[in-house]
Amino acid sequence: MSKMDEIFQTRLERHHDELKWLYMELYDNDSMFAELCTNLYRFYKERRRQLKTRDKEREKNPEWFRKNDMLGMMLYIDQFAGNLKGVKEKLSYLEACQVNCIHLMPFLDSPKEHSDGGYAVADFRKVRADLGTMEDLSELADVCHQKGMNLCMDFVMNHTSEEHEWAVRARKGEGEYMSRYFFYDNQDIPERYEQTVPQVFPTTAPGNFTYLPEIGHYVMTTFYPYQWDLNYGNPRVFNEMMYHFLFFANQGMDIIRIDAVPYIWKELGTSCRNLPQVHSIVRMMRMIGEIVCPSVLLLGEVVMEPEKVVPYFGTVEKPECHMLYNVTTMASTWNCVATKDIRLLKRQMEAVNQLPSAYTFLNYLRCHDDIGWGLDYGFLAQWEMWEAPHKRFLNDYFTGKIPGSVSRGELYNDDPVTQDARFCATTASMCGIESAQETNDPDALQAAIHLDIMLHAYMLTQSGIPMLYSGDEIGQINDYSYKNDPDKASDSRYLHRGKFRWDLAEKRKAKESVQGRVFGALNELERIRRLERVFEASADVWTYDVHNNAILCIVREQAGERFFGIFNFADRPETAWMREEGGYTELLTGKKMELVDIVIPRYGFYWLKKEN
């Protein structure tokens, strides 16, 4: 390498030995490692000046993203605004939502009929034609940055589309490309894998392999048959995927969501999930980012139980992801909506609150995927709530089959063998807004709106970064039109991936409309959240027992200020049995209150701050 820039050199030196160590452990290949380093420098050189400035600022302030004004929203470019240029035009709406971090759902070139919502990438360097161009993307990033906003994108690294150039060449029998995937010329090894590897889509895409008759080979396809798993045992795959990652960093992305990361390493005789090599790869990615583009964050998509999620933060000395989804808390929240019993959620929150405060979780109620009922069944067993019947109860409850349930939605991958169905719907439909509108019942609508707002208030009280799902800010309900689209009809996740309803969004200006009430309340909560110090990331947070299983109480304390968030999950008024000294102010109404046996209306909540 010729004379290197000093900044790059310093950063490389900091990580070189560890990076090389991990690389050699996996690949034992000096020339590929040298190639990687040469390319890191190339991407660094190519990085725009503004982005390098951003790198320097954020290196000085690595906690920049752990701020109580951070608010994310995930959205589909086409459903929200047609294309990337459209998103640029709609930034003022997102600003009105106080959103400063936009997660653009997959937008890279992907075959229309076989796209898995964009998670089957055919070309990592090309934006899907109807959404715009790579220039539109970097232009959007620039405008966002000028407005103090961040951009997040998916990096689908576990697999490519079968139409990706590598896959096309592999299908032609080119050995070099076959070695970038998992190819087998007979059933032996695939069958041995099937014995230990669970299925991701048991009904819509059973099995983990797909037979390709034209070349008489089986190829590994953990997800859909058209999503071919990449072989990270091949250093060419690792290097090329890192170049893609850096390419996107150089387009101005601030956050890279590493999709389905637990799956990226395969080993016969294992579950092919969360293997130690996955952590080596994520750690290398973290170092590569810190060398070339230190302002860019890694958000790991690890939809697993807590013991599997937390290791993806790495250690203090050797961090991996900057942020991870708070997935079990999310599922436990909906469990609490169905059972009106907060004990499991409280326990889950206690577990999260005990983790080092440097761990940053992304909190959410809904996202583009289904909800899997991954709860702590060991804990529920003490009340004789067993996994299979409880999952059935949750699915019956949320599909509205149980008397008194106001939720609407559909099952996802209802596996006849394990009976392990997951669930799809929007927050508003799960809260009862859809059913109340159907029956034209103003009281039910009122309750549904309160539940929806209360859940958001609770989500905004958790430690970490809140991520809204586009449409939730106006209480958008399920969209059943996907059933008419043959490319989507078999995947019920499209139920909550409908077009953003700008006509309804307009109604947010009418205070009494559903949209006005949800939008207005969320806006006020977000405003308070960014102003009050108790919401700072370094606050101490714990749950507080109010001797009522329907009420969750969260305390936050920061710099001598104390806050109580009290949330009633029951559909009737309930009392929080408590006695705390001093006067409190309710932050939304400004009302003075005492913390003595407070009665909370159905689905109500209070945000109370102690007066000094």
Q: Which residues lie closer than 8 Å to 479 by C-beta, 6 or more apart?
A: 494, 495, 496, 497, 498, 499
Nearest to 541 by CA among 524, 553, 529: 553
Contact window for ligand GLC (CB under 6 A) among 1-9, 115-123, 144-152, 382-390: 115-123
Provide the 3-class DSSP secondary structure of residue 597.
strand
Contact window for ligand GLC (CB under 6 A) among 113-121, 285-293, 453-461, 560-568: 113-121
Query: Should residue 119 be labelled a site residue for ligand GLC when binding is judged by CB under 6 A?
Result: yes
Q: Please state the closest distance from residue 504 (CB atom) to ligand GLC, in A.
A: 25
> 353 burial class (0-12, 13-18, 19+ CB within 10 angstroms)?
middle
Q: How far apart are CA 263 and CA 159, in angstroms?
A: 10
Q: Please state the closest distance from residue 260 (CB atom) to ligand GLC, in A.
A: 4
Binding mask 254-273 for ligand GLC (x = CB under 6 A): -----xx-------------
- Beta carbon nearer to ligand GLC, 111 or 117: 117
Q: Choose, by CB under 6 A, the member of 86, 117, 306, 516 that binds ligand GLC.
A: 117
Strands 360-363 and 410-412: unpaired
Q: Please state the closest distance from residue 356 (CB atom) to ligand GLC, in A.
A: 26
Structure tokens at 148: 């103090």
- Beta carbon nearer to ligand GLC, 426 or 463: 426
Q: How far apart are CA 116 and CA 293, in angstroms?
A: 29
Q: Please state the closest distance from residue 115 (CB atom) to ligand GLC, in A.
A: 10
Binding mask 354-373 for ligand GLC (x = CB under 6 A): --------------xx----
Q: Choose, by CB under 6 A, the member of 116, 290, 410, 473 that binds ligand GLC.
A: 116
DSSP one-letter code for 173: T
Query: Should residue 122 be labelled a site residue for ligand GLC when binding is judged by CB under 6 A?
Result: no
Structure tokens at 560: 């001598």
Q: Please state the closest distance from residue 273 (CB atom) to ligand GLC, in A.
A: 12
Question: Scanning residues 406 to 435, which ones bind ligand GLC (CB under 6 A)?
Answer: none
Q: What is the secondary structure of 62-110 as a DSSP string?
A: TTTT--TT--EEEE-HHHHHSSHHHHHHTHHHHHHTT--EEEE---EE-
Question: Scanning residues 370 to 409, which ones bind ligand GLC (CB under 6 A)?
Answer: none
* C-beta of residue 302 within 8 angstroms of C-beta of residue 309: yes
590: left (phi over 0), alpha (psi -120 to 50) or beta: left
- Beta carbon nearer to ligand GLC, 327 or 518: 327
Q: Please state the closest distance from residue 230 (CB atom) to ligand GLC, in A.
A: 12
Provide the 3-class DSSP secondary structure of residue 183.
strand
Query: CB nearest ligand GLC: which residue?
Result: 119
Query: Should residue 163 be labelled a site residue for ligand GLC when binding is judged by CB under 6 A?
Result: no
Q: Please state the closest distance from residue 154 (CB atom) to ligand GLC, in A.
A: 8
Beta strands of 188-295 (E only): which ranges? 209-212, 217-220, 227-229, 255-258
- Beta carbon nearer to ligand GLC, 325 or 500: 325
Q: Please state the closest distance from residue 598 (CB atom) to ligand GLC, in A.
A: 40
- Beta carbon nearer to ligand GLC, 254 or 301: 301
Q: How far apart are CA 566 and CA 576, in angstroms?
A: 8
Binding mask 295-314 for ligand GLC (x = CB under 6 A): ------x-------------
Q: How far apart are CA 571 and CA 604, in angstroms?
A: 9
DSSP one-letter code for 5: P
Q: Choose, by CB under 6 A, the member of 156, 281, 380, 459 that binds ligand GLC.
A: 156
Contact window for ligand GLC (CB under 6 A) among 116-124, 320-328, 443-451, 520-528: 116-124
- Beta carbon nearer to ligand GLC, 202 or 520: 202
- Beta carbon nearer to ligand GLC, 121 or 140: 121
* C-beta of residue 92 within 8 angstroms of C-beta of residue 142: no
DSSP one-letter code for 558: E
Q: Which residues lie closer than 8 Å to 335 by C-beta, 6 or more apart?
A: 344, 345, 373, 375, 394
Query: Should residue 524 be labelled a site residue for ligand GLC when binding is judged by CB under 6 A?
Result: no
DSSP one-letter code for 274: S
- Beta carbon nearer to ligand GLC, 49 or 112: 112
- Beta carbon nearer to ligand GLC, 163 or 259: 259
Question: Scanning residues 216 to 245, which ones bind ligand GLC (CB under 6 A)?
Answer: 223
Query: What phi and psi values does residue 419 have, to the nearest 5 degrees?
Result: 55, 35
- Beta carbon nearer to ligand GLC, 266 or 609: 266
- Beta carbon nearer to ligand GLC, 304 or 336: 304
Q: Which residues lie closer than 8 Å to 569 by C-beta, 6 or more apart?
A: 336, 337, 340, 341, 342, 454, 550, 551, 552, 603
Q: How far apart are CA 585 and CA 578, in angstroms?
A: 16
- Beta carbon nearer to ligand GLC, 70 or 156: 156
Contact window for ligand GLC (CB under 6 A) among 112-120, 189-197, 479-487, 552-560: 112-120
Q: Please state the closest distance from residue 548 (CB atom) to ligand GLC, in A.
A: 36
User: Alpha helices of 554-599 — where are they, by DSSP H?
Assistant: none
- Beta carbon nearer to ligand GLC, 369 or 415: 369
Contacting positions for ligand GLC (CB under 6 A): 116-117, 119, 156, 223, 259-260, 301, 368-369
